[in-house]
Structure 1
Amino acid sequence: MSDNETNENEFSSDDCNNGICQCGLFELLPPEIWLNLFGYMSAEFIAEKLSLVCKPLRRFIVSSQSYWKYRYEQRVRAPYRAIATTNRTWLNVCDKLERMGHEWQQCAEQHQNILSISGVHIGPIINTLLLEDGYTCITGSRDSSICCLDLRQLVRPEETKVTNIYDSPYVSKRAHDQQQRWIWSLDHEANIISSTSSNSEIRLWDLNKDMCEISRIKLQATFAMTHRLRDSLLYAGIYNGHMHVYDTRINNTDNNNSRVHIERVTPRGYIHALEVQDDYILVMHKPSTLCIYDRRTWKKIENVQMAANDYGLTVIGGSDNNLITVYRDEFRRWHAL
């Protein structure tokens, strides 16, 4: 809830008596219906208006943390997610996300939905990351470069002026190495940016030190099309159908001894999508197959065969209620674990 949230002690005893709703509104509907109704309201309205109706309804709103986490994860893919803490609940996180989304919508309408990042790369952008602050964007391109952009500087194309050494008013930091060739995928954890490239390398960069390279991992005769960085472990989906796990706390400049696990996912197709959840690892590989692993034991839980024409499946999402979402273009499918 926001900083100016109302304390429970401020509720009048005339409205509630020993936790029993006197107005009868909360008991009028079962909890499942209330959660469904929440889907038609903004988190801000629920937290600052609806929660003031009565204590039982307020307690229900605050205690439904699994709902707020699921609601947040429906809108935000794994690489970009924030984390709830003792001082910030999932309701707080969801409320902040929706407020930020509203601000971006207003910004887009103000600029007539035309935003320019001309001059950032000379080649096509393959991958992007939007960090939790809402305005720092990391882009990876076929021109072998990784750029850190400040989206607060975005303007209409006719207002664009080159103002820094990177030939772009938005680029604050850049990592460029012709040996990287194409940048295939990006991820981050705190200030650490990770990238995979078509020259069979995985590199780690320090965002707080002008994108200074920390370490690199050299793969043998293959490359990683996708990867995820979670809890200092880097999960790489390899083109040969294997999944490698590396400990990024070990410097990999001279050797590959940080590899802690190799899993052969498929003998006849490459891995092109990967997500790491609290309990599960979700892997999508050709031909149109979703593999679900137990993250702790590496036991394969299930193979889900997708439709034969699902070659555009590139994004996977998950949640605590044992539902996973697979995205293909504008379509979504849900699978229960």
Structure 2
Amino acid sequence: MCDVSAVECSDTSVKQWSLENIPVEIFLHICSYLDARFITRSLSLVCKRFHEILSDITVWRSRITKRWGNEYPPVPVDTDAFDWRLACVCIEDQYEFWNKKDVQMKPILKSDIHYAAVNAVHLMNSGLLCVSGSRDRSIVLWDLSNVVNDDTEVPYQISSDVHTGWVWKFASCGETVYSCSWDTTVRSWQLTPSLQPVSVFQCRTAVLSLDCTANLVAAGTWTRDVMLFDTRVGQSEVSLYRAHRSAVLALSMFGNFIVSASEDHTLAVWDRRAEKVLKQLNLYADKGKVNDVPMCMSFSNNLIYVGDSKGNLHLINPAQGQFNIVDSYKVGHSAQLTCVQHGMGSILTSSTDGTVRISTPTQRPETIAVISSQVGEVTGFDYKNDILVVGGTHSALEFWLPCSS
């Protein structure tokens, strides 16, 4: 038997490769046939040498470049600080998952609980709990933790008439969920394990958008205001700003910034620390599209995506507080965008055209999959840990759950 080093076997000198001396080029070529998650979680742990090779960020950056060109990430980043390995895992995971959605996910339609359009859906507890809110003024808590392959029954609890107007949006921090309504209030609820009312925050006019951090709740209203509440000091507003000329349709908080989108066609960036408007953006200033309105927003991973009333998706780069408009895209929808959510691995968008589309998070997003929903016009969705919930105008929700292995 030959040794692992170069030795003579019979009359022939043979080079035997082992984990210790396999050429890096051949090892990486083998890796190109394996998925990034397996490489990271398993192969990199085989031996010290594999770990050292796979700890080099150039390996992961090169892998992404070969697959996606120079289009990922969609804005310039600090190459040394960016987590190329995590990005590679995320984008490959999402691409593979949604490409095989027909065998990896099962849809469950629930159209007999709410009796009006479901405008708000929100996933909590790693996606295992869902809250839905409707124009019927009720909130339903859904337990997704024990739904298995051959079971379409989803346990739920109904809290009726929790608002006196349409339930419009949800946000959550930890075990606390916030709901906003056309009845001019934001209400907080505690999961214990059912929804228990905690506080009521009065906003004077209809609340159309909502977000929260650990102690701060931001509410965008029909009358142009963004109102801030600190849950540690009571139910009265601690701050208010008016940067728009019309209703605030979407907002998101990230760090010291609150970004709000309005029916007046603009986005405003509010600096909470300085208590002033840092920047005002008109997405359509140079395009003459006076009827286009920003409708929804996603702010995470140092990127902002804004969806509008004509099915366009706009990318904004908040780097260094500049909040510059990068580009605008068509992602395949034929009508108004109602919700957008993005991460390192995918962009999800929904529309009144009745679909949810999953796209690559690249400079020019490419369609990975399309879900034609059974809920009518899609009013919104939430996506967490490969669980998708969709709300619509047909008084219905649709859960897309991963199939059991």
Query: Could you list the runs of 5+ residues in structure 1 that have no partner in the other structure?
Result: 1-10, 16-21, 29-37, 68-73, 75-88, 161-168
Q: 1:260 to 1:224 in 2, by over 3 A?
A: same
Contact 2:268 2:280 in 1 (8 A): yes
Pick from 134, 151, 164: which aligns with 1:141? 134
SS in 2 for 1:47: helix
CA distance, structure 2, for counterparts of residue 205 and residue 235 of structure 1: 16
Give the corresponding residue for 1:23.
24
The structure with more helix, counted as a fraction of residues: 1
Q: If the length of structure 2 is used for normalisation, what is the TM-score?
A: 0.55
Q: 1:212 to 1:99 in 2, by over 3 A?
A: farther
**CA displacement at 1:172 relative to structure 2:** 3.1
Q: 1:100 to 1:132 in 2, by over 3 A?
A: farther
Give the corresponding residue for 1:265.
243
Q: 1:97 to 1:63 in 2, by over 3 A?
A: closer
**CA displacement at 1:226 relative to structure 2:** 0.6
**CA displacement at 1:288 relative to structure 2:** 1.1
Query: Could you list the runs of 5+ residues in structure 2 that have no partner in the other structure?
Result: 1-17, 65-71, 73-82, 318-322, 324-405
**Identity level (%):** 24
Matches within 5 A, 1:1-337: 14=21, 23=24, 43-48=36-41, 51=44, 53=50, 55-60=52-57, 109=103, 114-152=107-145, 169-177=153-161, 179-220=163-204, 222-252=205-235, 256=236, 259-266=237-244, 268-307=245-284, 308=289, 309-320=291-302, 323-328=303-308, 331-336=312-317, 337=323
Q: 1:246 to 1:219 in 2, by over 3 A?
A: same
CA distance, structure 2, for counterparts of residue 90 and residue 133 of structure 1: 24
Q: If the length of structure 1 is used for normalisation, what is the TM-score?
A: 0.65
Contact 2:263 2:294 in 1 (8 A): no
Q: Which protein, 1 or 2, shows the higher relative CO under an 8 Å CA cutoff with sep ≥ 6?
A: 2
Residues 216-236 of structure 1 deviation map (CA, whole Å, 9 limit, x = unaligned): 11222x121011011211011
Count of aligned pairs: 270
**CA displacement at 1:12 relative to structure 2:** 6.5
RMSD of aligned alpha carbons: 4.2
Q: 1:152 to 1:61 in 2, by over 3 A?
A: farther
Residues 78-104 of structure 1 deviation map (CA, whole Å, 9 limit, x = unaligned): xxxxxxxxxxx9977996898699778
Residues 142-201 of structure 1 deviation map (CA, whole Å, 9 limit, x = unaligned): 111111112356689x975xxxxxxxx424333222643200111111110100111111
Give the corresponding residue for 1:79.
none
Contact 1:116 1:154 in 2 (8 A): no
CA distance, structure 2, for counterparts of residue 134 and residue 104 of structure 1: 17
Q: 1:102 to 1:296 in 2, by over 3 A?
A: farther
Q: 1:181 to 1:108 in 2, by over 3 A?
A: farther
- Report the AA paired with residue 122 of structure 2: L
- Report the AA paired with residue 291 of structure 1: A
SS in 1 for 2:192: helix
**CA displacement at 1:41 relative to structure 2:** 8.6
The structure with more strand, counted as a fraction of residues: 2
**CA displacement at 1:208 relative to structure 2:** 2.1
- Report the AA paired with residue 134 of structure 1: G
